[in-house]
A and B are shown apart, each in its own frame.
Chain A
Amino acid sequence: MAKKRMAVNVEDLTVAYNEKPVLWDIDMAVPKGILLAVVGPNGAGKSTLIKTILGLIKPAAGTVEIFGASYKQQQHLVGYVPQRGSVDWDFPTNALDVVMMGLYGKLGWLRRPGKEEKKLAMEALEKVGMSHFAHRQISQLSGGQQQRVFLARALVQDAMVYFMDEPFVGVDATTEKAIITLLQDLRKRGKTVIVVHHDLETLKSYYDWAMLLNVRRIALGPVKKVITPKNLEQTYGGRAPFLAAKSQND
């Protein structure tokens, strides 16, 4: 396989909190242009995996590559939607301002966002159906609207690979539909989108690839191939992750 074509390539990744492995020996090769769901039970390490790829958590071992180079070199190619609950929405700012933060990386240390940045941010808000709420204080937005703002912030990053941490948690049905349409649209334009996902029922209709994770990687591939009763049993079966991992090689 030509490694260079891989949007994300993770090898032997191990992350441990206080010596207890949260992620164990993960290999993950994600080709360009797919929409990938990362699924697994609570505590499986899904968020940790994304945060480690993004350099927010230091791994105990292993390497991460984005389009064949380290994250530091390629961060301009990466867009990130953190969990909505990870920030204080009572922060005194409005939706437009939050979206413009997606451009701070390109602006560098000193340059301030100006007219051009405002225009880009407005366009992104338009895409997520939030342009009417541009000047709304962020605490006055509903959960779904806050999620759309986060999504718009990732859109202005104009990335090649997007990482999204549970974008469907606590959003209304309309927002869920709007978000998935947008994600599928991104994939159509050749972007790679990696989403931490919770709902197994929507898996097949939303995504083309899936990764089953429970501390160890259970499976990774096209949804139809990967979502088998055996794999699901291994991921969610209520057995100790160590045993599940052991029988994986059968």
Chain B
Amino acid sequence: MGEGRLSLLPRAKMIEILYNIISDYTLRNVILGSAIVGIIAGSLGCFAVLRRQSLLGDAISHAALPGIALAFLLTLSKSPLILLLGAAAAGFIGTLLVLLFTHTTKTKEDAALGIILSVFFGFGIFLLTIIQKLPTSNKAGLETFLFGNASTLLQSDVRLMSLFALMIFIVLLFFWKNFKIIVFDYSFAKSIGLPVKTINIILTALLVFAIAIGLQTVGVVLMSAMVIAPAVAARQWTNSLSVMVLLAALFGAFSGISGALISSLVQKMPTGPTIVLVISAIVLFSLALAPNRGILWDMYRKKKNRKKIRLDNTLLNLFRLSKSHNDPYHAHDLKSLMAIDPTGVREAAIELEQNGLVKRAGSRWGLTKQGIEKARSLAQGGVF
């Protein structure tokens, strides 16, 4: 009885917290907004990462800052639509300039990205400083675009974000196979007559908008983490593009929501860094533990391989030694084997004995009939 009551309390508390989250206007917006950001940035990020354009996301988000500031300066309005369009336009111009740079000069892409990123960002900070000195009353709040602040999300913001997210999602579904082929094999796609340039522009446009709708929540400085990290983590768990995109969306949503919740519960905690910490944990976990691609899995596979090689070598060495005696069953002291390679001979011999390939007689070890067959096939197959 007493125990039941004890376990009921936290549950009631949890329900209360959940109820608060759902009914609380700010929290609801925070959760919805950051989930949308995570889903859209995560899924579009897969394409960016697979095309080795991860840094483009960083350049786009930094380039968006002067766009936001200019949009405000020109309209003196903080309407989310205007700021978002300003961010997207600047992001586009930044991307175009990167292309222009690499095509007309001999600048390499990474250098071009670095230049655009820092020049635009610097210009953005410059504009923000000017805005601070303006005599208008509604100038406050633009600096949240630096590191993001999910708790400033209004219902109107979330509505606009959902609208854009929905459009991005529909285009993504419609163009799925086209995006897939230009990311995998651009030349082939072009050779079969697909309008690769248009598809490319649409894909880049989606990325720009995916980033633009996340800037208020995550901030321009760390938005690229929302693009890159979920995709990197998701790639670890699957070999299918569609599953990868779904997983990235899921990881993005999870880190978005938890990061935003933590930051809005702790005072003056910017959202961007909190989200980045959460998604980083997911990435680390995935890099270490994912089956097939994870580091631990890799270590296990290498160890298993090494053991197999040792077993095969021990068997082969016994086989070779017996040849000089004209008797395949001729047994040897393990010392004779250790003269060839001393590591792990005894352990290998014991395991071979358990497998019935080797038989021990006193201190001497010889092949069994099975062992001879296996050794012969190994020697012929030349697996190692």
Contacts and interface: CB of A to CB of B under 8 A. Distances in A.
Interface of A: 51, 54-56, 72, 75-76, 78, 80, 82, 86-88, 91-94, 98, 101-102, 104-105, 107, 109-110, 112-113, 137, 139, 153, 157
Contacts of B192: 75, 80, 102, 104-105, 157
Contacts of B239: 92-94, 137, 139
B127 interface: no
Contacts of A80: 187-188, 191-192
B286 to A, nearest CB: 14
B142 to A, nearest CB: 39
With a 10 A CB-CB cut-off, give which of B50, B52, B184, B191 has the most chain A CB atoms: B191
B194 A98 contact: no
A91 B174 contact: no
A105 B190 CA distance: 9
Contacts of B177: 104, 107, 112-113
Contacts of B52: 88
Given A72-B193, A104-B177, A92 B241 contact: yes
Given A93-B240, A104-B194, A88 B187 contact: no
A104 B235 CA distance: 25
A91 B47 CA distance: 10
A75 B188 contact: no
Contacts of A102: 192
A38 B177 CA distance: 33
Contacts of A56: 187, 190-191
A101 B177 CA distance: 9
Nearest to B245: A92
29 contacts: A54-B187, A54-B190, A55-B190, A56-B190, A75-B191, A82-B187, A86-B187, A88-B52, A88-B184, A92-B50, A92-B235, A93-B180, A93-B184, A93-B239, A93-B241, A94-B239, A94-B240, A98-B184, A101-B180, A101-B184, A101-B185, A102-B192, A104-B177, A104-B178, A104-B192, A105-B193, A112-B177, A113-B177, A157-B192
Interface of B: 50, 52, 174-178, 180-181, 183-185, 187-195, 235, 238-241, 243-244
A137 B181 CA distance: 16
Nearest to A103: B192
A91 B49 CA distance: 10
Contacts of B195: 109
B8 to A, nearest CB: 46
Contacts of A55: 190-191
Given A113-B177, A137-B239, A91 B184 contact: yes
A209 B90 CA distance: 55
Contacts of A109: 175, 178, 194-195
A56 B194 CA distance: 12
A137 B184 CA distance: 14
B188 A101 contact: yes
Nearest to A75: B193
A143 to B, nearest CB: 17
B368 to A, nearest CB: 34
A92 B178 contact: no
Given A101-B181, A109-B178, A78 B191 contact: yes
A107 B194 CA distance: 10
Contact of B181 (A104, A110, A112, A139): A104
B267 to A, nearest CB: 42
A92 B248 CA distance: 13
B147 to A, nearest CB: 32
B235 A82 contact: no
A94 B174 CA distance: 21
A55 B177 CA distance: 22
Nearest to A53: B191
A56 B181 CA distance: 16
B127 to A, nearest CB: 39
A104 B196 CA distance: 12
A76 B193 CA distance: 8
B191 A86 contact: no
A81 to B, nearest CB: 9
Contacts of A76: 193
A110 B241 contact: no
